[in-house]
C-alpha cells in the first residue's frame, strides 16, 4: 500500500491531467505543509505526523468556513468546505454503521477482525478485575486504580499528605506531589481521554482510555496506541509477551457514607494523577466542581516546580529559594484535563469539563 507522499504525488498528476483546479491547488497546499513539517523535524515526517498535518488543515478550514458564513461571504465558506472535503479524503476510512454494530455486538471477535495478524493474541487476552485501592481522606472513602496503574498510588499519597497538613500551602502541595511521584513525574503530552458519569440514583462510572502518542497505524478509522513507546510510564527495561504494562490511567470514585459523591479522571500523561488529586482535594474542601477544575495547579519534576498561571505572588514568594520554579502564563494543557461529575449530599448533580483540553460537563434532567 503506497504511503501518503506517493498517493499525493499520483493524485496531483491525475488532477493535472483532469484539469481539476481546486483539487490540484489543495493537494499542492497539503504537500507544502508536509514539506514544512519535514523541515521542522530535520528529516521526512512520519505517517502519523502527516496525519496530524491533515487534521490541523481540516480544523483551520472548518473555522474559516464558519467565520466566512457569519460574515456574509457564502462563496468563500463554500470554497473552504470544498477544500476541507478534499483534505478529509486523505484521512483513514472510518468504520461504517455495519462495522460499528459488529464491534458493539461481537466485542473482541470484531476487534480480531480488524487486526487479523493479532487474532491469536486477542483470543488469549483476559480482562483483569483487581480490587481498587482504597484511600481515606477528609472523612471520605476514595477508590482509585491499583497496579499495574501507577496513578492510583500517586493520588493516594498526595491526598494522605494534604490531609495530614490540615490547611496545606502551595509549598505543602508541591512537596506532596514531589513525594508521590518520586522520579516518575516527567512525561510528554499524550492522547488520553476520560469520561465521568453519575445519575440521580447514584449509579456511577469512570472510564479512561489512551492512545499514548498514537502509533500512526489505523484500522477501520481507529488508531492503535503506542504504549510500548511510553517509556516514562512502562519503564525502559525488558517487557515480556503477556506482561501487563504499567499505566497512568486513574479513574477515581469518592464515596460518602457508601454512596458515590464524586466521579473524576483526567488526561495528561504522568501529570494526570497529580491533577486528579489536586482537584479532588479542592472539591472535598468545599469548592464547586467547576471552580476546583479551573483553579491553578502545580506539578513537580525532580527539583523543578511548574506553577500554572493564577497562583498568588505571595504564595510563590514563600517557596524555598533553592527550588527551580517555572511559572506558566495562564492555564495550560500541560497540567492535565480533568473531567468530573458530583452528586452533592442534597442530591444536586454538578459537572464540569476542563478547558485546558476542551472538556465539557453536562447535566441532563
- pLDDT, residue 2, reads 65
Nearest CA among 296, 289, 225, 230 for reference residue 263: 289
- pLDDT, residue 103, reads 73
Domain containing residue 217: 133-357
Whether 102 and 79 share a structural domain: no
Whether 202 and 312 share a structural domain: yes
Block mean pLDDT (10 aa), the chain, length 365: 82 93 93 91 84 87 90 92 91 75 75 78 82 89 90 92 92 93 60 84 87 72 73 77 83 92 88 93 93 95 91 94 92 90 90 89 86
- The answer to whether position 365 is within a domain reads no
Whether 277 and 330 share a structural domain: yes
244 phi and psi angles, rounded to 5 deg = -85, 120
* Cβ partners under 8 Å of residue 156, min gap 6: 133, 135, 142, 144, 180
Whether 84 and 195 share a structural domain: no
Whether 29 and 50 share a structural domain: yes
Beta bridge partners of 209: 193
- pLDDT, residue 173, reads 94
- pLDDT, residue 78, reads 92
- pLDDT, residue 290, reads 94
Whether 171 and 243 share a structural domain: yes
Number of domains in the chain: 3
Whether 215 and 303 share a structural domain: yes
Region of 182 please: left (phi>0), alpha (psi -120 to 50) or beta: left
DSSP string, 118-139: GHHHHHH-----PPPEEEEETT
- pLDDT, residue 251, reads 92
pTM of the model: 0.72
- The answer to whether position 300 is within a domain reads yes
Whether 81 and 179 share a structural domain: no
Q: How many Å apart are CA 314 and CA 300, to the nearest integer?
A: 19
Whether 163 and 299 share a structural domain: yes
Whether 105 and 13 share a structural domain: no
Q: Which three cell numbers stand for residue 203?
A: 449509579
CATH number at residue 23: 1.10.1510.10
Give the three-state DSSP class for 50.
helix
Residues 114/124, Cβ–Cβ less than 8 Å: no
Amino acid at each position: 500500500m503506497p504511503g501518503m507522499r506517493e498517493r499525493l504525488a499520483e493524485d496531483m498528476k491525475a488532477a493535472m491531467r483532469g484539469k481539476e483546479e481546486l483539487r490540484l491547488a489543495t493537494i499542492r497546499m497539503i504537500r507544502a505543509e508536509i514539506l514544512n513539517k519535514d523541515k521542522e523535524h530535520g528529516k521526512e515526517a512520519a505517517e502519523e505526523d502527516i496525519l496530524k498535518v491533515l487534521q490541523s488543515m481540516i480544523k483551520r478550514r472548518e473555522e474559516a468556513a464558519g467565520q466566512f458564513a457569519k460574515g456574509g461571504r457564502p462563496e468563500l465558506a463554500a470554497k473552504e468546505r470544498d477544500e476541507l472535503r478534499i483534505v478529509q479524503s486523505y484521512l483513514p476510512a472510518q468504520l461504517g454503521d455495519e462495522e460499528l454494530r459488529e464491534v458493539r455486538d461481537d466485542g473482541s471477535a470484531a476487534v480480531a477482525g480488524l487486526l487479523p495478524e493479532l487474532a491469536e493474541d486477542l483470543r488469549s487476552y483476559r480482562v483483569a478485575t483487581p480490587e481498587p485501592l482504597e484511600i481515606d481522606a477528609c472523612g471520605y472513602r476514595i477508590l482509585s486504580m491499583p497496579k499495574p496503574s501507577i496513578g492510583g498510588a500517586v493520588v493516594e499519597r498526595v491526598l494522605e499528605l494534604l490531609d495530614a497538613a490540615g490547611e496545606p500551602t502551595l509549598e505543602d502541595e508541591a512537596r506532596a506531589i514531589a513525594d508521590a511521584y518520586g522520579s516518575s513525574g516527567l512525561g510528554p503530552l499524550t492522547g488520553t481521554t476520560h469520561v465521568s458519569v453519575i445519575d440521580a440514583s447514584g449509579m456511577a462510572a469512570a472510564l479512561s482510555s489512551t492512545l499514548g502518542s498514537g502509533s500512526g497505524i489505523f484500522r477501520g478509522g481507529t488508531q492503535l496506541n503506542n504504549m510500548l513507546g511510553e517509556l516514562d510510564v512502562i519503564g525502559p527495561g525488558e517487557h515480556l509477551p503477556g506482561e501487563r504494562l504499567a499505566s497512568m490511567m486513574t479513574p477515581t470514585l469518592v464515596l460518602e457514607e457508601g454512596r458515590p459523591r464524586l466521579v473524576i479522571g483526567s488526561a495528561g500523561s504522568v501529570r494526570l494523577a497529580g491533577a486528579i488529586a489536586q482537584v479532588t482535594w479542592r472539591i472535598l474542601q468545599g469548592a464547586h466542581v467547576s471552580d476546583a477544575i479551573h483553579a491553578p495547579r502545580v506539578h513537580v519534576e525532580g527539583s523543578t516546580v511548574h506553577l500554572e498561571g493564577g497562583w498568588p505572588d505571595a504564595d510563590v514568594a514563600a517557596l524555598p529559594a533553592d527550588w527551580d520554579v517555572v511559572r506558566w502564563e495562564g492555564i495550560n494543557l500541560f497540567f492535565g484535563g480533568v473531567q468530573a461529575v458530583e452528586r452533592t449530599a442534597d442530591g444536586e448533580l454538578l459537572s464540569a469539563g476542563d478547558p485546558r483540553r476542551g472538556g465539557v460537563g453536562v447535566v441532563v434532567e
